Structure 1
Amino acid sequence: MSIRIAMMGAGLALALAQAPALAKVTAKEAAELGKSLTPVGAEKAANKDSSIPEWTPAPRHGSLKGEYPSDPEIDGDKPLYTITKANLPQYADKLSEGHKRLLSTYDSYKMNVYPSRRRVSFPDFIYKSTIANAITCELAGIDNPDNCRQGFTFPIPKSGAEIMWNHRVRWRGDGARRYNNQMIVQQTGEYQLTKIIEEVNFYYATTIDPVPLTRSSGLFLKYFSRTVEPPRLAGTMILVHEKAGSGSEGRAAWLYSPGLKRIRRAPTVCCDNPYEGTDGHQFYDQVDMFNGVLERYDWKLVGKKELIIPYNSNRIGSPAVKFKAMARPRHLNQDLPRYELHRVWVVEASIRPGTNHTFNKRRLYLDEDSWYPAQIDNYDNRGGLYQFQEGHTVFAPSVQSVGGIPEVIYHFTSGRYFLTAMANEDKPNDFTARFPDDYFEAAAVQKRSLK
């Protein structure tokens, strides 16, 4: 026991040592939120040539249940231009390395670029709490935000780690049920479909007794998933209590295996361990583009740039588009995605000495209006581009939140790719769902397995 306590103490000392020595946001800087900056920290103004427009937030409208995201004004747009291998050099400075690799490798790959629309909005209470956080919230350790309440943690970020916390605890409603369909697509275009039902309560960014992030308390969500199909995976269940902090302070996870017929603690629900049922095509920390502890990397804030990213992707997430229409050999059916030019925060994560991960470096591009990482370039330990993640960004005006529908992971070494967060042939996200707190206890999951 004394060894365990000593190790925990050493871990805490390491976490505190990793806390960036940063200048705090000044009152003058914070005063720009809601003025030259949006209430969550994006630049309100258009860029110089107005190819990125001024922020014009959409009002809340629609139902929290039964609706797929749509916007008749946006959905009726026609492409401004199309990027292909032939004209790639003309647009190279506006593209991620992942997109340049796809365009230069496959003659069939293209990107239809549409007029940029900045319609993302959040509830007023998120705006108010975010503005307050600008002065009070700080990182006590790379995985330990302190004095943060309900809103985005760092609307005027000073480090890459602060940006990642904006993404991790962003507003997504009080709770949700998601019908998550996934596909592993082979080089031939043939695919294997997996169906998962996911349920979550949010505890930090929520209207229901929000839990602040402090040095001693950091719970921000509880998550439960059940695999429904295919039969060989059906009945697999994962339970996660997501908390700030690392090691024993952070994430607690359990796994129920139908073969063992019992639920057990699962420290492997972390980092670059493969998510159950994905056959190694998605790591646990690639869910929601990135999630989990930051401690394995140094997080550098590179700056901002203008980048062409998937955006306002209502069409590809529509029930009118069937799964078989999405899968094509080697890459997604590129007639379906919508791309736009936006300003993004660029964050580079480099592996820390003494730690390890399949990805030696990650370069993340986060939309300035939503803090959602629309694209990630992942590099292996030899410095080669190993994977490319693409989140087809959708704004849901009913809940006033942003996510990826679908998210794609391209595997350059195998020529396969992985699709997740698809609901086209199922049901849309249900943001009316909220579950009793004990629903997310291991004993309750064990009982549900018997039904």
Structure 2
Amino acid sequence: MKLQHILSLAAISLSVPAFAAVTAEEAKQLGTTLTEFGAIKAGNADGSIPAYTGGLTEAPAGFKPDSGFWVDPYKDEKPLLRIDSKNMAQHAALLSEGQKQLLTKNPSYYLNVYPTHRTAAYPKKVLDATVRNATTCKTTKEGLAIDRTCRGGLPFAIPKNGYEVMWNQILRYQGDTAITTSSSRSWVVDSSGKAVMTSQQATFSDFVYYQTDVADRDPDMAWRVYSISQAPARRAGEMTGLADYLDPVARPRKAWSYTPGLRRVKLSPEFAYDTPVASMGGVTLFDELFVFSGTMDRFDFKLIGKKEMYIQYNAYKNLYDCPTAEKALLPAHVNPECERWEKHRVWVVEATLKPGQRHAYSKRIYYFDEDLTGAANYDAFDQNGQLYRTLFQAASPKYDKLIPYASKNVVYDFNKGMYAYVNDVMVGGFKVSPSVRSEREMNPEAIVSRESPR
């Protein structure tokens, strides 16, 4: 990566000792030159990235509240340009290695680049907590954990190292209460171009870190999720659950599974690191869920800086208007007409495998949207240093709820010549629960009892 394409870190000095909260003087940038969540408030020099003005907070015409589907506010916009294998070199500085590999290998693939809209918006209480966290929140155990002073807001609005950026991704704001999907599908397209549905699931995601007003919540828990398989028939009724903690060294991921044939809940510690995710055809790993999840102990995470890049953003068409395999899935890649790319500033983190550690990858590079929506590009490299996989996660903020949200993603496996299309929403869309469930209701045995077919 050329140094001239790395932007200023907005007066953040990387020489400051790692793992310490920012000073009160540094925190004065929040809400002035920086947004309350630490992004550069101003636009870029040529105006292709606009200034941040609070995000999208008004629903467009035609939106039906609580329908589970969000109307595309930019459906009438036309692409500003199209990047393909012929003109890719002109835009190389704004592309990841994965994007360039796709364009090079597939003349039929292209990126439609649209006007940039910084639509991420947050509730005031989350912004207030984020500003408070900036001067109090600290990492511990060499970046692998964070302390209990971190709560209710993004932990590191002014990150000083790669671990802090990764914690911002892990604890990104996705709402105070749970988000459910009644039915979503994941597909795998193999090297012959055949699309196979690997799973159809209902999911329940619970963002405990932001539930500061709920009395019975575990203050050490970060988030949890469980899913119920609906198809294929051989897996119907299976359930899996994950819970991650603020100190994964002291309290490792709690993972469990339930199989109807065995009729019991069992712990599943293998649901971590580079174990392939069966419901996604093995094309992605457990520590690639949501771009990254789990413990950071096997890699060194280095903050490279910030740069401009094309990422998938305001992807309402992708999420709601291209939901079927027939429309979205082509033999070697996703239908480019379903995707919307915009130019945004991203945090760049490089993760290198530690000596003596085992993993499928030797290096990983993460590119996270500076407005912290969860939108990201991600490249992973094998033990020979060759590009192995790339992932694109698309943002589609829930403007009426003030929730920056990213869920749908695609993972390309260049070694096997195949890809996975994850979280293809079907019936019911996404529902934001009006209230949280009690700890008793979130016990795995209670979940199985409640959700199992009678």
- TM-score, structure 1 normalization: 0.90
Among residues 187, 190, 201, which one is paired with 1:186 in the alignment? Answer: 190
Aligned letter for 2:200?
Answer: K
2 CA distance for matches of 1:255 and 1:248?
Answer: 22
Question: Structure 1's 289 and 64: CA in aligned 2 closer, same or farther, altered over 3 A?
Answer: farther
- Corresponding pairs, count: 427
CA drift at 1:327: 0.6
CA drift at 1:208: 3.7
Aligned letter for 1:307?
Answer: M
- Write out per-residue CA displacement over residues 163-195 of structure 1, whole angstroms, 9 at most, x where no aligned residue: 111111122121111233111112343212221
CA drift at 1:311: 0.9
Aligned letter for 2:195?
Answer: Y
> Which residue of structure 2 aligns with residue 195 of structure 1?
200
> Which residue of structure 1 aligns with residue 297 of structure 2?
295
1 CA distance for matches of 2:154 and 2:260?
Answer: 39
Question: Structure 1's 370 and 210: CA in aligned 2 closer, same or farther, altered over 3 A?
Answer: farther
Secondary structure of the structure 2 residue equivalent to 1:396: coil
Q: Is contact 2:302–2:350 with CA below 8 Å preserved after alignment?
A: yes
Question: Structure 1's 247 and 25: CA in aligned 2 closer, same or farther, altered over 3 A?
Answer: closer
Aligned letter for 1:286?
Answer: E
> Which residue of structure 1 aligns with residue 11 of structure 2?
none
> Which residue of structure 1 aligns with residue 280 of structure 2?
278
> Which residue of structure 2 aligns with residue 152 of structure 1?
154
> Which residue of structure 1 aligns with residue 133 of structure 2?
133
1 CA distance for matches of 2:229 and 2:280?
Answer: 11
Question: Structure 1's 27 and 63: CA in aligned 2 closer, same or farther, altered over 3 A?
Answer: farther
Q: Is contact 1:180–1:196 with CA below 8 Å preserved after alignment?
A: yes
2 CA distance for matches of 1:41 and 1:68?
Answer: 29
1 CA distance for matches of 2:448 and 2:94?
Answer: 50
- TM-score, structure 2 normalization: 0.89
Secondary structure of the structure 2 residue equivalent to 1:149: coil
Q: Is contact 1:177–1:199 with CA below 8 Å preserved after alignment?
A: yes
> Which residue of structure 1 aligns with residue 211 of structure 2?
206
1 CA distance for matches of 2:32 and 2:212?
Answer: 25
Secondary structure of the structure 1 residue equivalent to 2:93: helix
Secondary structure of the structure 1 residue equivalent to 2:396: strand
CA drift at 1:230: 0.6
CA drift at 1:373: 4.6
Q: Is contact 1:67–1:428 with CA below 8 Å preserved after alignment?
A: yes
1 CA distance for matches of 2:442 and 2:211?
Answer: 17
Aligned letter for 2:179?
Answer: A
Matches within 5 A, 1:47-446: 47-56=44-53, 57-59=55-57, 61=59, 65-72=66-73, 74-141=74-141, 142-146=143-147, 147-173=149-175, 174-178=177-181, 179-193=183-197, 194-206=199-211, 208-209=213-214, 217-247=219-249, 249-319=251-321, 321-370=323-372, 372-423=374-425, 425-432=426-433, 434-446=436-448
CA drift at 1:445: 3.6
After superposing on structure 2, the runs of 4+ consecutive aligned residues of structure 1 that deviate more than 6 Å are 210-213
Percent of matched pairs sharing the same residue: 33
- Which blocks of at least 5 consecutive residues in structure 1 are unaligned? 1-19
- Which blocks of at least 5 consecutive residues in structure 2 are unaligned? 1-16
Question: Structure 1's 115 and 21: CA in aligned 2 closer, same or farther, altered over 3 A?
Answer: closer
Q: Is contact 2:305–2:348 with CA below 8 Å preserved after alignment?
A: yes
2 CA distance for matches of 1:210 and 1:149?
Answer: 14
Q: Is contact 1:233–1:277 with CA below 8 Å preserved after alignment?
A: no
CA drift at 1:210: 7.9
CA drift at 1:44: 0.6
2 CA distance for matches of 1:308 and 1:339?
Answer: 6
- Write out per-residue CA displacement over residues 193-225 of structure 1, whole angstroms, 9 at most, x where no aligned residue: 221111122211236428999xxx521223221
Secondary structure of the structure 2 residue equivalent to 1:285: helix
2 CA distance for matches of 1:392 and 1:244?
Answer: 26
Aligned letter for 1:428?
Answer: G
Tell me how large the CA RMSD over aligned residues is.
Answer: 2.0
